[in-house]
Amino acid sequence: RSHPSTSATSAMAMECARGTRAARRTWKVRASATRPSASPDDLRVKPGALAPLVRGRGLAQSDAFRAAQPCEGQVERNGDKEACERGPPSLEGYLRRVLCSQVYDVARESELDLLPRLSESVGNELWLKREDCQPVFSFKLRGAYNKMVRMDAEARKNGVVCSSAGNHAQGVAMAAAKLGCSAVICMPVTTPDIKVTNVKRLGAEVVLVGETYDECQAYAKQRGREDGRTFVHPFDDPDVIAGQGTVGMEILRQCGNRLPEAIFVPVGGGGLIAGIAAYVKAVRPEIKVIGVEPVGANAMALSLSKGERVYLDKVDGFADGVAVREVGEETFRVASSLLDGVVLVRNDEICAAIKDVFNDTRSVLEPAGALAVAGAKAYIQHAKCKGCRFVAIGSGANMNFDRLRYVSELADIGAHREVVLATTIPEERGSFLKFVDTAVGSELPVTEFRYRFAADMKATILYGVGIRTEVELSVLLQNLEEAGMTSTNLT
């Protein structure tokens, strides 16, 4: 509010807020014109298997640049400008940045908790890094504060601006409150009220603009240029990456001599996994760093498989915290050099992971927050691991209450404890009773049931059945088939 927007910025905000076709088309063309367009369906990977990866050329190892990396007590002028002019950080450069990060002014060292019930179920030790316990219930506070605390006094006086629909917005707002600088948080008009309220509660100015994140980000950058504010990127910034990398530093310290076989990290734009991979591979290169993405929001996996960044023509927004169309330029450079691979998981597997974590901790993670747990389960099953130790990042717990019912409905399907079937029966007297005796009369619990009378000679029954093993499902389908009732597994 101390930096009134100019008429040009106001006009742009009004145009984005209207959500006109022209505005949406303009930003979509600009975004997709820079990178090859791809569909999430272009990449097919077996459940739990690592997606194909084209290895990058590696991080710069220049001694001259390593010497130029800022260390404790040094401050970069104009944000990243000086460092970027010298070149992108090397692996050692990122190690120094992580070690010199000042995140603990606002963040806390989160717990590393064993998930006992889930560990017993998968036959391996599975530990959860509790970033959902941060003051803003997400790891995003680390990177935002580390970026902003390194800005000079004049830049902080001018304030910051960012674009976000949730966790990054709250991180920037809290960091700004701690540092005493003003913050403008640009959020899409579709952002839930609870997230808008939380950001306002932290003292930031909220601007609702645009129907998509691309439109919102375009306005935020324009507002930053016109007001002289520093744009705080949610992931594609070396200082943000280094701040997130402190999560990896804590994991290795907390594990001590019992190091994990692999660390599973949720991937959106790539800031968290780039930071963790940079630190872990510099200190303990034998530990695998594996990314996890939803099958419908697999921008990193697709980019790594093609050896270049791609722009998704569509994205599944269920795990909204990682639903990005394009990963960052710097995060891709780091990921392509250091990652061991990416696992893709379905939405029902994410819901099952949310339930697994709840059963062990009584905490409810958001879909993106449980993504790494889902990926770890899938990887363990595919690789047939036994007696190993794994760590999964619980990255956040900012979920709207009204989504819990949907998560609950999908959880048993994702855990393979429920199937949804459609059975066709003749529309004649006695056929429904025969179906009840065959299907419902079994020992398997019926969780959902829908039947509608049909005017023709056949009717279809939709129902859900709880199962404990695949054998139980096979026996049920065989009994129905022998009774002359054709069934289809719709799970």
User: How many CB atoms sit inside 10 A of residue 336's CB?
Assistant: 22
pLDDT in tens, 454-472: 666 788 888 888 777 778 8
Q: Which amino acid is at 240?
A: V
In the predicted structure, residue 16 carries a pLDDT above the cut 60: no
Which of the residues 140, 147, 195, 377 is marked catalytic?
Answer: 140
pLDDT value, residue 205: 95
In the predicted structure, residue 114 carries a pLDDT above the cut 50: yes
When pLDDT is cut at 50, 70 and 90, the band that residue 253 belongs to is very high
Strands (E), 220-359: 230-231, 262-266, 288-294, 311-312, 341-345
pLDDT value, residue 295: 96
Find all residues with CB under 8 Å of 125, minimum gap 6, and list them. Answer: 114, 119, 388, 389, 390
User: Of 229 and 75, which is predicted with more confidence?
Assistant: 229
CA angle 398, 402, 407 (to 5 degrees): 80
pLDDT in tens, 92-112: 999 999 999 999 999 999 999
pLDDT value, residue 47: 93
pLDDT value, residue 409: 76
β-sheet bridge partners, residue 290:
264, 341
Share of the chain above pLDDT 70, in %: 84
In the predicted structure, residue 45 carries a pLDDT above the cut 90: yes
144, 361, 469 from 487: Cα distances, Å: 53, 39, 18
Residues 467, 177: Cα–Cα separation, whole Å = 51
Strands (E), 370-479: 389-394, 418-426, 446-451, 458-466
User: C-alpha 429: how far from its chain's center?
Assistant: 52
In the predicted structure, residue 358 carries a pLDDT above the cut 70: yes
Residues 55, 401: Cα–Cα separation, whole Å = 41
Choose the weakest-confidence range: 18-27, 103-112, 316-325, 388-397: 18-27
User: Which pairing describes strands 205-208 and 183-187: parallel, antiparallel, or unpaired?
Assistant: parallel
On the CB side of 116, CA atoms within 13 Å amount to 3
When pLDDT is cut at 50, 70 and 90, the band that residue 86 belongs to is low
In the predicted structure, residue 334 carries a pLDDT above the cut 70: yes
In the predicted structure, residue 77 carries a pLDDT above the cut 70: no
When pLDDT is cut at 50, 70 and 90, the band that residue 440 belongs to is low
pLDDT in tens, 20-29: 333 333 334 3
In the predicted structure, residue 381 carries a pLDDT above the cut 90: yes
State yes or no: is 140 an active-site residue. yes
CA 189, 191, 197, 199 torsion-angle sign:
negative
128, 272, 340 from 261: Cα distances, Å: 14, 19, 12
User: Of 429 and 443, which is predicted with more confidence?
Assistant: 429
In the predicted structure, residue 232 carries a pLDDT above the cut 70: yes
Owner of token pair 């599944």? 316
Which of the residues 101, 110, 305, 395 is marked catalytic?
Answer: 395
Owner of token pair 């990122």? 94
68, 309, 439, 461 from 478: Cα distances, Å: 70, 48, 11, 17
> 450: helix, coil or strand?
strand
pLDDT in tens, 347-356: 999 999 999 9
CA 124, 129, 130, 132 torsion-angle sign:
negative
> 77: helix, coil or strand?
coil
Helix (H) or strand (E) holding 126: strand 125-130
pLDDT value, residue 470: 75
> 439: helix, coil or strand?
helix
On the CB side of 420, CA atoms within 13 Å amount to 12
DSSP at 396: B
